[in-house]
Every structure is written in C-alpha cells, then in structure tokens.
A = this chain, B = another copy of it.
Amino acid sequence: MSETFSDLDAHLEAGAAARLADFVALLSIPSISALPEHRPDLEATAAFIAERMRHAGLEHVEVAPTDGPPVVYGDWLRAPRAPTVLVYAHYDVQPVDPLDLWVKPPFEPRVEEGRVYARGAADDKSHVAMHLAAVEAWLSVRQALPINLRFLFEGEEESGSENLERWVEAHREQLAADLAVVSDTEFLDGNLPAITSSLRGMMYAQVDVRGPDLDLHSGGFGGVVRNPADALARILASLHDEEGRVAIAGFYDAVQEPGTRIREEVARLPFDEEAYRQRIGVPELAGEAGWSPLERRGLRPTCDVNGLWGGFQGEGAKTIIPAHVHAKVSCRLVPDQDPERIFELFRRHVIDHAPSGVEVEVHLINTGRPSVTATHHPAVEAAAGVIEAVFGQRPYLIFEGGSVPVTAVFDKTLGLPVVLLGFMNPDCQAHAPNESLVLDNFEQGIRVICRYWEALAEAPLAGQGASGSASAA
C-alpha cells in the first residue's frame, strides 16, 4: 500500500476529542427498537445521523420512512470510474433490562479506562460513528472520495429487520453497488483483529402444548390426564441425542460439512477454552460431539430453547396441572440449510414426539438465512491488508455464531458480495448490562475504514458481482 494517509491521520488526531463528544451524544439517545415508547428516540437518532451525514458532505441525504423505524440514506457518487460500495450499520439498540445490573445508567455514557460504557457503545452505534468519521475526514481533507459510497443506516436490526428487507427490495436501483460492507461484527476473543467470514441463519418458533380447558387440581386429577408440562419436557428433551446432535430428522441433510482446510484454520485460532469457560460461568463447555467449541458455534447448526413457561411460577406451592405450557425454540443454521424447510422439519418432529393426551401447535416467528463470504474475494483480501497496516497484525478469519439478517438480503436481493468489517471488542457485552467499546478499536477502526476506501479503489472489484458471495439460498 503505497498511499500515504498522513493528512487524514492528522485531521483525525486533531478531531479526537470532538469526535468522542459527538459519539457520546449519539449514545445518549435511547433508541430501543423493541419498545414502542421509544419510537420518538429512533426518529431523533435518525435525524441526528442525517444531520452529521450532511455536515460531512454526503449528498441525497434522507430519513426514509418505513412501516417501522426510518432508514437513513446518503451517498457520494462523484468517482465515475471507481467502484460503488454500499455501507451498512444499525442505529437501534437492545433493551436494557435487567437495569439494576448496570453500574451507571445505560444512556448516560461514561468514559473509563480506555472504554466507553453505554447501551449501543459497541452494538452498533460504534460502527455508525466510525463510518461517519471516516467519510467526514476524506471529504474535509481531500474534498473527494476514491470510490463511490452509499450509506444505509437501519433502526430495526435488533427487532428482526423486517421493514428494511421490504425497503431494500423497493429501492434496488437506489442501492446499486459493486460491494456491500456490513459493519456489525466483533474481533476474536482477546480483542485480536479479525474478519468474520460467515454468519449463521435462524429459524425461531414457538411451541404451544394444551391439555385440559382450565388448570386442574393436581389432587383430584393427578394420574388421570397427561400433564402438558410433561408433554413439553418430552418434546424438548427429544430435540438432541445423547451426543449433543440435533435429533430432528433431516436437520443435517443440506449442511455443508466444513472441509479440512477450514477446520485447520479454526484449530489455529488462539482460544483459551478455560478462560472462556470461566468468563461465561459454566461448570463445563458442552455441545455436539466431535467438534471443538469454536467449530460448534461457527460452523455447526444448533437448536436452543430460548424460554419456557406455564402453570404456577410464584413463591410457595399451588397444586395445579397447568392447562397449557409454552416454549420458544430457535435453530442457528449454516449453509445450505433453508430456514423454512428447517421449520417444517422442526414442526413435524415436535408433532411426532408429542405424547398422546395433549394438543400441540408450532408457530414460526421469524427466519434469517445463513451467509458466508468468499474468503478469497479481493475485497476481503483488501480489508485484511488495511487491518494489518493499522493494527500491526494480520486479522484472523473467523466464523460467527450470530446472525445479521441484512447480510443475506444484500446477497440475495441485491446480488452483492458482502464484506463483514467490524471492530467490536468481544468482551463488549452487547445485549447485556454494562456494554462497552474499547476506544482504541474505535479510533483504529476509523483509520482502517479510511484506508479501505482507497484500497478498494485499487482492488479488482469490477465483474465480481454476486458470484463473489456464496448464498445459502
């Protein structure tokens, strides 16, 4: 990389304090997408971001309405022969409960020991702020970008991106690009620089088991009817075999078994299993036999109960047979598992394993496709190069267990290769109390992004198109 960035770096250096103050202002707005009462906060956050985009010099800036929170769009398209990149991050955040476990209020950001603590400090306002800072630096210092950029900031990621998917489909022309950069991922445990190369998909369902019309007295009816809780327990216990494999018939049929090369790559990742176990606080790690923990979370599909409830849940004793009990169950999916197909297999398994004497229903709540990026795509190679230049070490290629639904939308709907470029420290406690971002990740991340636009201008992107990304569809 021959280019020098001393002018941009000097600009960023001089603006650090103001930038942090601006980030704190963004973090102070409680943009929780799951709670309807925070809709005004989502609108306020979108307006805040649009204002910063205009100030940075972006054009066609708009706060576009959807049936959910608005989408914020803006672009700079004045590099006619250069590639166009669609940049994505989300400005909504998770709910904050349990609030009593926060050391400080979640929307009163505090800076301590090189971190910013606040809900959204990492997931995902950090990336919104980093992208805004990088483009502001380019346009302020050089009055131009080396490539074309379209920014798309979403306010509904933590609630399923349902409306974004429709908006993207309705605005395919407006979003035309050569590459998508999705910024919502983490480094490797130990805060080691990393690029995520795959995300799992999802199938989320609810199981309802109904017995008698009303709760029954467990004395007068104990021994006479099938207890719905017993039926649910049998169903849930049947989801895995003794080896920890998902026991749903056909579940693994479409799974691409990772090859030896990928397994070797994962085995080479630095991972302190004992430190990891202690951090989570479990007596031992567990899961599908024959795979390492990192393989199980990144390369293998899983099935988990997310919650269950029914009958008496209070203090003391109430002697009833519950009329109905329920469970939320979701599967994380890998290529080429189709979420709708997996739901059908799951539904059939539940019905087949329901004992007699109860009625069982299974409802699909949502789905997301798995996605995998082509690790040898020139845009990934370019990202690895600039991360190495800024952080001083080659990034690891990692396989993430989570899901970012928009990734498959860009891939499937827009036919774009996707690079997952994220800088969150893995101990950021996203979704949990006391979320925090390491400030060095923030500042260095901005410098990586600045260099990445230049690197992409030089990368052989043209003609890569959709084939650069392997879809799970």
Contacts and interface: CB of A to CB of B under 8 A. Distances in A.
A308 B309 contact: yes
A214, A317, A327 — most chain B CB neighbours (10 Å): A317
A232 interface: yes
A318 B431 CA distance: 10
Contacts of A377: none
A320 interface: yes
A237 interface: yes
A321 B304 contact: yes
Given A225-B282, A286-B225, A357-B285, A325 B304 contact: no
Contacts of A226: 282, 284, 286-287
Measured as residues with beta carbon below 8 angstroms from the partner, the interface class of chain A is 35 or more
Given A233-B236, A281-B212, A402 B220 contact: yes
Contact of A300 (B200, B223, B239, B306): B223
A296 to B, nearest CB: 4
Contacts of A160: 316-317
A309 B282 CA distance: 20
A264 to B, nearest CB: 20
A454 interface: no
A243 B100 CA distance: 47
A332 B222 contact: yes
A140 interface: no
A229 B313 contact: no
A234 B214 CA distance: 26
A214, A235, A318 — most chain B CB neighbours (10 Å): A318
A237 B215 CA distance: 20
- Give the number of times this chain occurs in the complex, counting copies: 2
A29 interface: no
Interface stretch (A72-80, A358-366, A442-450, A455-463): A358-366
Contact of A227 (B217, B220, B283, B304): B304
Contacts of A286: 224-226, 355-357
Nearest to A217: B431
A211 B306 CA distance: 13
Contacts of A420: none
B332 A223 contact: yes
B297 A221 contact: yes
A191 to B, nearest CB: 15
A283 B215 CA distance: 15
A96 to B, nearest CB: 13
B313 A317 contact: no
Nearest to A303: B222
Nearest to A359: B283
A225 B280 contact: yes
A312 interface: yes
A400 B285 contact: no
A321 to B, nearest CB: 6
Contacts of A280: 212-213, 216, 221, 224-225
Among all A-B residue pairs, the 10 with the closest Cβ atoms = A219-B402, A307-B311, A213-B281, A229-B305, A307-B312, A233-B236, A223-B296, A286-B357, A226-B286, A222-B302
Interface of A: 159-160, 200, 202, 204, 211-227, 229-230, 232-237, 239-240, 280-288, 293, 296-297, 300, 302, 304-313, 316-322, 325-328, 330, 332, 355-359, 365-366, 400-403, 430-433
Given A282-B357, A309-B310, 16 more contacts: A159-B316, A215-B432, A221-B297, A221-B401, A224-B280, A227-B305, A230-B304, A232-B233, A233-B236, A233-B308, A237-B237, A283-B358, A306-B319, A306-B321, A308-B310, A316-B366
23 contacts: A214-B281, A218-B332, A219-B402, A219-B403, A222-B297, A223-B297, A224-B280, A225-B287, A229-B236, A230-B239, A230-B305, A233-B233, A233-B237, A282-B358, A283-B359, A284-B357, A305-B311, A306-B322, A307-B313, A307-B318, A308-B310, A313-B328, A318-B328
